[in-house]
Structure 1
Amino acid sequence: MEYNTTINAGEESFSDLAADEKIIEGSIEDLEREMEEMKVSYQNKTLALQRIQVADALRSKLMDNDDNSKVIWDTMKRIMKLSTAILKSQQESRELEEKLNEVKQSRLALKRAGECKLTQILEMKRKRKEELENMEVSDMLKKARRNLQQEIQMTTLLQNIFQGLIIGSGVNWAKDPALKAVVLQLEKNMTDI
């Protein structure tokens, strides 16, 4: 029992250590993130201070009104012209990109409309083909019906002729089983088919 108690106590201390390690790791990550943010902030502030110092040095040099200040003025004017030209070029580039996007959109809309029209045309062709096939089948059915009607009329006529011949011959067809089957078969009405 003492050993079990010692082992259970050891397991609890290990689980506490694991939880403490996770907390410490999370704190370290937070501190590293804060340190990185501080470095970036320091660099930005250093750059801003350097810009202010350069601007102050240029201002004091420009006040001297000597040959070096004239060169600085000329350089600044050239920088301003170039900056203006860059801004103008960027604006023109944006406008051209907007026009290009409008052309792409209209082209896409035309493509979709063309696909829609093509689908409609294909659907109309398919329907037309089905209609033509139906008309052909319908015409074939009409011809078949006409032929069937003619055959029925011919068969009925032949049946009547055979009945007339058998009855006119004076043979007792009821006694002869083969003749009886023929006569009874001739009694069927072919128009019911």
Structure 2
Amino acid sequence: MATSDDVHMGDAATSKPINANDYTDLLQTPHTDAFAFSETEQFALQLYDQLRELELEKSLLEAHVKDVSDVSALSDDVLHEHLMAAEREAMEAKAKFEIRNKVSQNVLIMDPVLKAVHGGQHHTVEKRLLPLISENDAVSMVHGLLTTKLANTQRILSAAERGNIATNKENRNQSRTVLELAEEAKAQSIEDIGNLSLREQVGKAEANVKESRKRTAIIKGILSAMIVGSGINWAADEELRELVMDDEEAG
């Protein structure tokens, strides 16, 4: 027997067409922006951020102190090497700190998350996180789907680029053949060529060139549309910009 909830769910499912690429409803959940920290929690988080900044500064200072020495007697080349080494050590110190910070953050986050999901009713503070955890899972799922689509688009783009290169190479070969045959036939038209075999070769070569140019134009059009539609900043890349602008000029 159908209940009133079933009826409402059925109406909601049929009232709006489903778009597989629309994640708006999935991301706009009832709990969006509903969570708010208390003043004590906000103050604790601010102190935590300050502590992390101080720890990072401490790590960088410790890496710097190790290399403090008198550089007045060093040549420019040696001084440059010392600067490069110091920069490398500073980057390594920062990377180690960030890894250690990430691990400690994961440890700190894990306990309240586990209590929010598996804890009993007495974990009221942690239970406030449960709606946000569900939303985080939804966003992570959408991110994974979009990442997969982006990877597929990039693979298709690479395949189209390889096809475009192969077509251009074939087009150049066909053009070279036509030029060679035209040089042999000189100013004669195809109908004026007395050698039947040569006339057929010239006709086939011209037909192949026309067909190759058509294929090249189609591939360029598809490739240009994929580049523009993918959201890639093609204007900042010289090769992509030439592909897109060349296709627009050809159109």
Coarse TM-score class (shorter-chain normalised)? 0.3 to 0.5
Larger radius of gyration, structure 1 or 2?
1
Q: Which has the higher contact order (CA 8 A, sep 6+)?
A: 2
Structure number with higher helix proportion? 1
Scaled by the length of structure 2, the TM-score of the pair is: 0.35
Scaled by the length of structure 1, the TM-score of the pair is: 0.44
